[in-house]
Chain A
Amino acid sequence: MTRLAAPLVACMVVAGCASGESILQAGNDPPPATTTTTPAPPVTAAPGETLPPTTPPTVATTTTTPLASLPPCPVDALDDATSPVEIVLWFGLAGETETALIALTDEYNASQDRVVVRIENQGGYKELIDKYVQSSQGSRPDVVMLPEYVVQQMADSDTVIPVGACIEASGYDTSAILDRALRAYQTSGVQWSMPFNVSNPVLYYNRAMFEAAGLDPDEPPVSLEELRAASQALVDSGAASYGIALDTGVDSGGGWYLEQWLARAGQLYADNGNGRQAPATRVLYDGPAGVALMADAQALIADGLAVNVGDNPAGRDALLKLADPAAPAAMTIATSAALSTVLVALTGGLIPGFTPDQVGVGAMPGPGETASATVGGASLYIVADQGDAQAAAAWDYIQFLLTAQSQSTWAAGTGYVPITEGALDLEPIKSLYETDPRFKVAYDQLVAGTDDLASLGPILGPQREVRTVTASAVAAIFGGADVASSLSGAAAQSTALIADYNARN
C-alpha cells in the first residue's frame, strides 16, 4: 500500500482561507473599511458585446518597481555570524504535508551548523494570514509561506525582502527552476517570493464507469467538447447519473473554472497584463470569452450532464459525489494535492466497492485541445527587518528547499509538483511517477502552459475577495441565472473592490 499519504490538506488548507484581509495592513495602521459600499458603475460592455481594448489608466499604476528601491538582501551576513542563527518559519499545512515539511527541515538543520530553522504551524492559511497581519515587526517570523492569492498584498505591505533581491545578490542560478512557477510570483519584474508547494486542479474520474459507458478509461476528456461528449455517453449508458460534478467553492470550482479556463484560452482575467505589468484596475472576465465558457458549463448542468455540488467545503463534496450511491457523477475537478489522500482513503475501504485502482486522473478539461494550468499553492516570503543574519539564513534555507533532491522528496511525500529541473530524475519522485503516472498529471499540465501573462493567471490586490464575488456569480449561473449579466455584475463588484484597494495603497 502506498502510504505516501498526502494532503487532503491542500484542498482543506485552501478551503481554510476565508480571509480577505489586506496583508497590507500589517503595519500598525488602523484597519480601514474593507468593503466598498458603493459599487462602481459597471465598466463592462453590455452582455455579449465586445469589450473595448483595455488601456491602462494613467494613474500611478504603470510605474514599475525598481528592485533598487526595495529592501536589499544581505546574503553575506551569515558569514559574519559567530553562532548558529535561529530563524522561524510560519506555515499553514497539516497532515502529511506538515510531516514532509518537518522532515525536510530536520534534514536541513542536520546538514549544516550555521542556521537552525524552527517551523511553526499556524493552523491553516487563514489563521496564518490573520496572525501575520496582526503582528508587529518584532513578532513576525523570518520566513512565511503564503498562498498564491496574496502576492500583491505582500508586495504592498513593505514587510518583505523580495526574493529577487537575494537572487541578484547571491548570483543564484534560477535557470533550474520552472520558469512558470517563478513568474507566477512576479509583478512589474520583481520576484516577490519563491514558489515552493505548487499544485493545480486536475480531473478525477471513475475508470469503471468509463468502461461501462464504452469510453476509453485511458483517454479522459481534454477539451470542453470532449467533456460534453463523454458526459453524454456516461449518462445515456446509465453508467453514472451525471458526467461530472462541478462546484462553486471559493477555493475550488468557483474560483478555478474562470481563472483556469481564461488562462488556458489565452485571455486576460484582469487588465494591466493580469495585474503583472502594473497593479490591475479592473477584471475582464465578463468579456465574450468568459461568457462563452460559463455558458458551456451552465449548459452541462441544464442538460443534466453535470451536477453542481455547491460550496464544496474542504474540497470534499465534489470528490464524494463520485461515490454517491444514489446519484453518482463519473468525474470531478479537484486539487492535485488531494490525490494521495484519496488513494489512501479508498485503500482503507472508505467507500465500499470503490478501489484505488478505479481512480483515474486526467488534466483539467478546458477550452482547446492542449491541457495547461496556472500555478496554485503557496510560496515563501523573506520577512524584512528581522536582522541581516536572519535574512541571509532564510535565503540559505529557501535555496535548500529548492534543490532538485529536496523537491523530489517533497513532491513524493506530498503530491505537490516538483519545480526544480532534475528533480524528476531523482528518487523518490522518479519511481513514483513511473509506477503511478496519475501523480504526474499535475506536473505535465503545469509545464504545458506558456509564459505569456494570460497563461500565468491574475494577480490582484483583493484577490480573495474578488474570488468570493466571482464564485457567487458562478453559483448563480449554475443555478440558471443569465450568464452575461451575472458575470458583468460580479465584474463590476470586483472592479469596485480593486479600485478601493488601489485607493488605499
Chain B
Amino acid sequence: MPVDATTAYDSPTGWRAAGRYALLVVASVVVLFPIYTTVVAALKPGNKVLVNPLVPSDFTLEVMRRAWTEGDLGAYMRNSAIVTVIVTVVAVVTSVLSAYAFAILEFPGRNVLFLVFLATMLVPLEATVVVNRRTVDALGWLNTYQGLAAPFLATAFGTFLIRQVFLQLPRDLRDAAAIDGVGHLGFLYHVAVPLVRPTIGALAALTFLSSWFQYLWPNLITTEAARYTLPAGLKFLSQARLDEPNLVMAGVLIGFLPIIVVLLIFQRQLVRGLTSGGVKG
C-alpha cells in the first residue's frame, strides 16, 4: 500500500493520497505507542525499565514467565475464557433470533418494540449496574459464572446489527422457502444465517473483545479469588511490587494474546461484517 502513495506523487490526487497516508501514519503512531511501550517494558528485566524506557534492551522472557506464575494468570484467564465464551455464544444466538423476529416476522407493535429495544443502547452499563448487582445477589449468583455472564447475554447492538443485514435479504427468498414448506426456524438455519455469516462473525468477535477485558461488573459481583477474571488478576499484579514495574506490562501482554488470535481469525469478517449492513442492496 505505501507503494500507491509514493507512485502517485505526480498527480494532484497523489498529494491528497499522501496527505491521507500521513494522517494515517500519525493516527497509527498514536494508537500503537502504548502497545509499543508495553511490549518493550515487558521484554526487559525489571531493573532496566526506568533506563531508556523506549529502547528495547536485554531481551528476556523471564518477566513474562514470572507474571504468569506469580500472578497466577492461568486461573484468571480460565475464568475469563469461560465467561467470554458463554457470553459470545449466547449473545450471538439471542441476537440472531431477535433480529429475525424484528426483520422478517410481522406482528403488531413490531416497530415500537424495536425502538424500545434500540433505546436500551443509550443506557450505559454504569447506570444499570447497581440494580443488576442486586438482582444477581438476590438470585444467589454472586461468585458464579452465570452471574458474570447474565447481563450480557442479549444485546440491542447485536440485534440491530444482524437485523440490518436480514432486512437486505430479498423477500422472495422467504416466500420461496415458505412455498417449499420450510418453517421459520428452518429458513433461519438453512438460508438466512449462512447468508449473513460475515456479520455474525463480526458480532462474535466484537462481543468477545468487549467481554474479555471487562472490569467493572466482574469486580462488583466476585468476592472470591476462585472466580476473579483476568483484569482483577492484572490489578493484583500491578499492586504487587515497586521493584518490578514491568510485571504488569508482561501480564497485559499475556492477556492480549487471545485477543490477537481472535482478531486474526475474524479480521476479514470484522471489516466486511461491519460495512455490509450499511450498504443498501
Interface residues of A (CB under 8 A from B): 5, 8-9, 12-13, 16, 28, 31, 90, 94-95, 120-124, 127, 130-131, 134-136, 138-139, 141, 316, 338, 341-342, 344-345, 347-352
Contacts and interface: CB of A to CB of B under 8 A. Distances in A.
B26 interface: no
B137 A121 contact: no
Nearest to B235: A123
Contacts of A136: 134, 137-138
B51 A352 contact: yes
Contacts of B241: 5, 8, 95, 341, 344-345
9 contacts: A31-B130, A95-B240, A122-B223, A123-B228, A123-B232, A134-B130, A138-B137, A347-B243, A348-B244
B220 interface: yes
A134 B219 contact: no
B225 interface: yes
Interface secondary structure of B, over-half rule: helix
B50 A121 contact: no
Interface residues of B, number: 27
A127 B219 contact: yes
Interface in B226-252: 228, 232, 235-236, 238-244
A345 B243 contact: yes
B223 A349 contact: no
A127 B50 CA distance: 29
Interface string B22-57: 000000000000000000000000110111000000
A8 B232 CA distance: 18
The 5 closest A-B pairs by CB, nearest first: A94-B239, A345-B243, A8-B242, A349-B47, A95-B240
Nearest to B232: A123
A211 to B, nearest CB: 24
B161 interface: no
**Counting chain A CB atoms within 10 Å of each CB, which of B50, B142, B239, B244 scores highest?**
B239
Given A90-B223, A131-B223, A13 B239 contact: yes
A134 B219 CA distance: 12
Contacts of A348: 46-47, 243-244
**Counting chain B CB atoms within 10 Å of each CB, which of A9, A130, A134 scores highest?**
A134
B239 A124 contact: yes
Given A131-B220, A344-B242, A347-B243, 18 more contacts: A5-B243, A8-B239, A12-B239, A94-B239, A95-B240, A95-B241, A120-B223, A121-B225, A123-B232, A123-B235, A130-B220, A135-B137, A344-B243, A348-B243, A349-B47, A350-B46, A350-B50, A350-B242
B184 interface: no
Nearest to B224: A120
A338 B239 CA distance: 12
A116 to B, nearest CB: 15
A120 B225 contact: yes
B236 A345 contact: no
B224 to A, nearest CB: 6
Nearest to A346: B243
A349 B232 CA distance: 29
Interface string B132-150: 0110011000100000000
